[in-house]
Amino acid sequence: MNKIDALPAFTDNYIWLLQDLEQRRCAVVDPGDAAPVEAWLAAHPDWQLSDILITHHHFDHVGGIETLKRLTGARVLGPADEAIPGRDVALHDGDQVTVLGHNFDIYAVPGHTLGHIAYVQHQQHWLFCGDTLFAGGCGRLFEGTAEQMHASLSRLAALPEQTQVFCTHEYTLSNLRFATAVEPENHAIRQRLEQVRQWREAGQISLPSSIGLERATNPFLRSEQASVHATIALREGQAERSPVEIFAAVRAWKDNF
């Protein structure tokens, strides 16, 4: 039996905590800060941290690795093409790893960073995607190109609609405000925005999302929709644009929204 909880870190990060309730073993995803994980382990002294899963090299995702590894001896898994402190297992696209008895497929999802990876558990329908796909949004293009990010998001969007999206930031409210600007007539976006607003006012987190919900409400997965094309045409003039060009225009707009 497994349970997944979010440990808040910094101002808007979540460290995902996977728990094997029978074996009392756990794993964490992207511990940018060791303190929340240390606090959880101190409150659960009979549990063992066995694995640390890393999606990309940014400090708010890797800053706690070395402290946690020193404290627990946990195995560190991370992208092969990025400098990950303390990494024991270097992961490439197409690799498979077993964590807490579950097999995860590794997807290369460049765009936010060049070596960014995602962890996909098909049987449980889990996706740990770091800063590639957000609830209602996507990561900034710090290292990769619009073409790379569009391809990465398209790959994730092809997962089954019930796939749970465990991203790493509480950006949902601001992302959905932007989504309403992109598709003002999209009822699903407005409905979701109101739901998330209520959750946040009540102190609840907005995650995980699902692939089905993202397909319906995330403008970065909807660059082939006529409504998104129409909005970009109004902003930037009528022209023939590919889905990648539409995505790039939406991403540039969001950067300054």
Catalytic residues: 56, 58, 60-61, 112, 131, 169
- In a 10 Å sphere around its CB, with 0-12 CB exposed, 13-18 middle and 19+ buried, how is residue 3 labelled? exposed
d(CA 191, CA 46): 43
d(CA 243, CA 150): 8
| Tally of CB atoms within 10 A around 233 | 14
Contacts of 244 (CB under 8 A, 6+ apart): 146, 147, 150, 223
d(CA 171, CA 99): 28
Do residues 14 and 7 make contact, with C-beta atoms less than 8 angstroms apart? yes
Contacts of 93 (CB under 8 A, 6+ apart): 106, 107, 108, 117
